[in-house]
Amino acid sequence: MAFHEVRFPTDIAFGSRGGPKRKTIIAVSGSGHEHRNSQWADSKREYNAGYGIKSIDDIYTVVEFFEERRGMLHGFRWKDKFDWKSCAPKQTPAYSDQVIGVGDGIKTEFQLVKTYGSSYAPYTRDIRKPVLNTVLIGVNGSQMMSGWSVDYTTGIVTFDSPPANGHEITAGFEFDVPVRFDTDYLQIDLSGFEAGNVPDIPIVEIRV
């Protein structure tokens, strides 16, 4: 099992359907009151790439990609058309978009993250697959043009020297979602496709 640092064909991914999924257990008492418990600390994205298939050539492209991944065996990158930046989709990433940590004068490594919400229960998501050459870093309100590096396979930012105590570290970036195929069998009916039926090509986010 491995992760292949290659992106699923973007033009097909952009026609897909899907989004974040959570797992909540709800118990209803005799009085009608609910007791809700989240079984997952983090959401998981699920997609169906079949909705992005527009031609027989697209089908061939997916089959070729599927075979090289050996079905469900190897993970790969996926560009989520709704959520692929440190900012809103129509905005341009800036070094001040996301707070990824606060310096203590000792620590040199910080994980890229994206925070959703602000007032009630903000959710912070680790970003493990930033896009090459898109990461911007800021310290204490100023952009850092050098003095740091980023591992584009893990999303870890490493500083040459530890940021000073109390200095806020921020980042802007584009990112992919680590995923795999959620099937070992692609059942594609060309007659059905020509009649307008969408192939079922499930994709699921994985932890890396």
182 is in which domain, residue-wise? 1-84+177-208
**pLDDT tens digit string along 52-89?**
998 889 999 999 999 999 999 999 999 999 999 999 99
96 φ, ψ (degrees, to nearest 5) = -100, 5
**Length of the chain, in residues:** 208
Q: How far apart are CA 108 and CA 115, in angstroms?
A: 21
Q: How far apart are CA 1 and CA 147, in angstroms?
A: 35
* Percent of residues, the chain, with pLDDT higher than 70: 99
* One domain, residues 139 and 58: no
pLDDT score of 156: 98
pLDDT score of 89: 92
* One domain, residues 80 and 15: yes
* One domain, residues 96 and 118: yes
**What pTM was computed for the model?**
0.93
Q: How far apart are CA 7 and CA 66, in angstroms?
A: 12
- Is the per-residue pLDDT at 192 higher than 90? no
**Confidence category of residue 194, pLDDT binned at 50, 70, 90:** confident
* One domain, residues 75 and 122: no
Lowest average pLDDT, out of 21-25, 122-126, 188-192, goes to: 188-192
* One domain, residues 168 and 183: no
**pLDDT tens digit string along 145-172?**
999 999 999 999 999 999 999 999 999 9
pLDDT score of 193: 74
Q: How far apart are CA 2 and CA 75, in angstroms?
A: 7
Q: How far apart are CA 184 and CA 191, in angstroms?
A: 22
- Is the per-residue pLDDT at 195 higher than 70? no
* One domain, residues 12 and 25: yes
> Per the structure, how many domains does the chain have?
2
- Taking Cα atoms as reference points, which of 207, 138, 208 lies closest to residue 173? 138
Neighbours of 103 (CB within 10 A): 19
- Is the per-residue pLDDT at 196 higher than 70? no
What average pLDDT does the structure give for the chain? 94
